[in-house]
Structures are given as structure tokens and as C-alpha cells.
């Protein structure tokens, strides 16, 4: 009698103890893998704040690439209207100066991009312009990495990346924006 009862118990109840482990595994898996909407963006480093006005530097105009964006989201590059689609190529030409022209940068190290916008400029346009300028530098660094080490810039060792970065430093100087077209 006693023996049959134990057998009954065994066939009636499946051991559910391991279910907990399975559920735990799931829980931990989700906790580890769920990322709250991964974030990507254009990384910039702002200049540090100082109360005194910055020292005025005398720069050779051939080394300065001035980009102005007005409240109507139009682009004025070195005094001439430009379409945003042409900005990347022109910026690259300015920095690298492959034909050694007298109106473009003497050396990538000396090139300075001066970016100025209006308080009424759309953020979308501003970011698009900034993106093009950064893309120009990234392209040039990639070309340099390709030429020297026949590798992409991102695949280089940190030392070599640093070397190329100092050969083609990213200098984007942002001026205090004008205020002509801010919405009320």
C-alpha cells in the first residue's frame, strides 16, 4: 500500500524546480541585453568658458575657411553662396590643397574652419553643416591612413591614429552667433 502511494506521487508531479532556473536565465538575459534606445551622435568638444574676450590672433586669410549660415539657412562660404552638397568637396580641397593654390591652406595643420551661424538658423541645418565639415576631416584622415598604412583610420592602433590626428587636426572655431532672425 505504501509503495503504490509513492509511485502515484511520482507520476502525478513533474519536478518544476528547474523552471525557476530557466526563468532566471531569461530574466538575466533580458537585463543584460536590453539597451534603452541606443544613442549615436556627432561628438564635439566645446571650448572652455572664459570671461575675458579671447586674444585676437592675426591669421593669414588663406588659412581661414569661413562658413556662415544665416537665418534663412543659406550658406556663405568665403563670401560666396554655396550649396550644402558642395561643402564637403570644397572643404577637403581647402584643407589638403593638392595643387598648392595660393588661396587655400598652406598646410592641414594651419587650416582653420570658422563657423558662424545666426540665432535663427535651424538646428537641422547647423548640424548638417557641422557634419559635412567633420566628414571632410574624417575623409582626409582616412585617405592619409590609407596612403601611409593602407588601412582605414578606425582600424589603426591608437598611436598611429594620434599621429594622423596631429597631422590633420580638426579645428573648427565657432563664433558667437549673430541675432537677426530668432523667432519671437
Partner 1 sequence: MSKFKKKRGKASPAISTASLPDIIFMLLFFFMVVTVLRDSEKKVDVVTPSASELTKLEKKSLVHYMYVGRPVEKFRATYGTKPRLQLGDKFAEFTEIPLFIEQHKSKLREADQPKIITSLRIDGDVTMGIVTDIKTALRKANQLKVNYSAKPMVR
User: What does the alpha-carbon distance between residue 169 and residue 164 come to, in Å, rounded to a whole number?
Assistant: 8
Asked if 169 touches partner 1 (CB under 8 A), the answer is: no
Asked if 59 touches partner 1 (CB under 8 A), the answer is: no
CB of 27 to partner 1, least distance (A): 5
Asked if 32 touches partner 1 (CB under 8 A), the answer is: no
User: What does the alpha-carbon distance between residue 80 and residue 88 come to, in Å, rounded to a whole number?
Assistant: 15
Pairing of strands 80-82, 75-77: antiparallel
Quick check: helix, strand or coil at residue 65?
strand
Asked if 128 touches partner 1 (CB under 8 A), the answer is: yes
Total of chain residues touching partner 1, rule CB under 8 A: 50
Q: Name the residue nearer to partner 1 (CB basis): 62 or 161.
A: 161
Buried b (16+ CB within 10 A) or exposed e, 129-159: bbebbbebbebbbeebbeeeeeeebeebeee
CB of 21 to partner 1, least distance (A): 9
Buried b (16+ CB within 10 A) or exposed e, 39-50: eeeeeeeeeeee
CB of 9 to partner 1, least distance (A): 8
**How is residue 51 annotated by DSSP?**
S
Q: Name the residue nearer to partner 1 (CB basis): 48 or 166.
A: 48
Q: Name the residue nearer to partner 1 (CB basis): 36 or 81.
A: 36
Asked if 10 touches partner 1 (CB under 8 A), the answer is: no
Smallest CA-to-CA distance from 66 within 169, 155, 173 is with 173
Asked if 24 touches partner 1 (CB under 8 A), the answer is: yes
Residues ≥6 apart with Cβ < 8 Å to 109:
166, 167, 168, 169
CB of 26 to partner 1, least distance (A): 6
Asked if 119 touches partner 1 (CB under 8 A), the answer is: yes
Q: Where along the sequence are the contacts to partner 1 (CB under 8 A)?
A: 9, 13, 16-17, 19-20, 22-24, 26-27, 30-31, 34-49, 117-124, 126-128, 130-131, 134-135, 138, 177, 179, 181-183
Amino acid at each position: 500500500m505504501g509503495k503504490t502511494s509513492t509511485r502515484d506521487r511520482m507520476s502525478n508531479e513533474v519536478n518544476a524546480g528547474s523552471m525557476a532556473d530557466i526563468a532566471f536565465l531569461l530574466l538575466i538575459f533580458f537585463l543584460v541585453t536590453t539597451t534603452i534606445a541606443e544613442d549615436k551622435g556627432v561628438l564635439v568638444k566645446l571650448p572652455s568658458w572664459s570671461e575675458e574676450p579671447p586674444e585676437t590672433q592675426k591669421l593669414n586669410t588663406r588659412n581661414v575657411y569661413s562658413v556662415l549660415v544665416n537665418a534663412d539657412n543659406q550658406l556663405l562660404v568665403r563670401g560666396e553662396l554655396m550649396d550644402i552638397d558642395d561643402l564637403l568637396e570644397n572643404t577637403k580641397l581647402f584643407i589638403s590643397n593638392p595643387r598648392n593654390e595660393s588661396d587655400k591652406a598652406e598646410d592641414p595643420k594651419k587650416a582653420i574652419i570658422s563657423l558662424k551661424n545666426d540665432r535663427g538658423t535651424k538646428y537641422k541645418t547647423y548640424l548638417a553643416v557641422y557634419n559635412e565639415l567633420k566628414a571632410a576631416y574624417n575623409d582626409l584622415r582616412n585617405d592619409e591612413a590609407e596612403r601611409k598604412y593602407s588601412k582605414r583610420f578606425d582600424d589603426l592602433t591608437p598611436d598611429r591614429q594620434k599621429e594622423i590626428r596631429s597631422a590633420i587636426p580638426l579645428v573648427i572655431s565657432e563664433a558667437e552667433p549673430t541675432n537677426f532672425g530668432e523667432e519671437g
